[in-house]
Amino acid sequence: MRSGMLGRMEDVTPQEGLRRVQQGALLVDVREQNEFDEVHAEGAQLIPLSEFETRYAELPKDRELVMICRSGARSARAGEFLKAQGYGQVVNLAGGTMAWVQDGLPSVQGGN
């Protein structure tokens, strides 16, 4: 599992991301508040990318983090930033919220 730690972080499918969250990982959504309010994965913690550099320390270093955004690009950037800050267990949810919702996984529509 440590292979690839120095390069890009691991991408996981929505189903794998859900499995990891069910086993204790924290789902971190890096979209902006208005995007999050429209629809988000159930249980996701919001830290918008625009605030990430000042708020990332709110995230636990001793827990796996599953990063999510709309399609996977912003969450990959945030995850790589976290890895550079010494966070070891960080994966990116491939396809983001769009794939999560398309796969019918637990989500919240239209606000909190």
Catalytic annotation, pick one of 30, 41, 69, 76: 69
What is the H or E stretch that residue 67 is in?
strand 65-68
* Angle 27-4-53 from CA coordinates, rounded to 5°: 45
Confidence of residue 7 (pLDDT cuts 50, 70, 90): low
- Asked if 69 is an active-site residue, the reply is yes
| CB burial readout 3-29, b (16+ within 10 A) else e | eeeeeebbbbebeebbebbeeebbbbb
At 25-71, the pLDDT tens digits run 999 999 999 999 999 999 999 999 999 999 999 999 999 999 999 99
Confidence of residue 112 (pLDDT cuts 50, 70, 90): very low
Q: How many residues does the chain have?
A: 112
pTM recorded for the entire structure: 0.91
For the chain, which domains are there?
Answer: 11-107 (3.40.250.10)
Can you tell me the mean pLDDT for 8-28?
95
